[in-house]
Amino acid sequence: MQVKALIAALLFSLLPSASHATNLMYMPFETVLSNALRAGRLDGSVKFYLAGNGPSANLHMLRANVVSDWPTNASNKSDFDACEWAVQSTLIELQDEAKRVGANAVTNIVSYYDQHARKDLNTYECRAGVFVARVALRGDLVRLP
């Protein structure tokens, strides 16, 4: 009986896990940002700018390359809904960290899945699976005038 269990465990370990976030999606950033503000999940005290958008002058850098990597439950959610929830959780974490250091904006935001930066003017990267959706973002915490 132990041999059968060992063989079964070995076979399952060779198969890709259903819990891994496997579907690569590029989602609209401004839409999810607006939804989070409208729902009150973000309070509006911190502005968010993807790399290539937003201010580049007259800003005071407080912390560079801050990473928020947030996996979230994707069970019983569409990939879109799971990705939106994951990025909102990531933005909430960045907002809290920005406020903690006295920043009022997060600039130069890039997708940072598995420490690979992906810059896009309009979208963020999300990986969604059966049980988990994951979004990783990297940005700079700054103080704008």
pLDDT averaged per 10 residues, the chain (length 145)? 49 43 88 96 97 90 96 91 95 98 98 94 94 96 96
Does residue 129 contact residue 20 with C-beta atoms inside 8 Å? yes
pTM for the model stands at: 0.83
Pairwise CA distance, residues 17 & 102, whole Å? 41
Pairwise CA distance, residues 96 & 94, whole Å? 5
> Which alpha helices (DSSP H) does 49-116 contain, by range?
79-101
Q: How many CB atoms lie within 10 A of CB 52?
A: 13
pLDDT for the residue 8: 43
Which residues touch 100 (CB under 8 Å, ≥6 apart)?
Answer: none
DSSP 94: H
pLDDT for the residue 58: 87
Which residues touch 67 (CB under 8 Å, ≥6 apart)?
Answer: 112, 136, 137, 138
pLDDT for the residue 125: 97
Residue 131: burial class (beta carbons within 10 Å; 0-12, 13-18, 19+): middle
pLDDT for the residue 70: 83
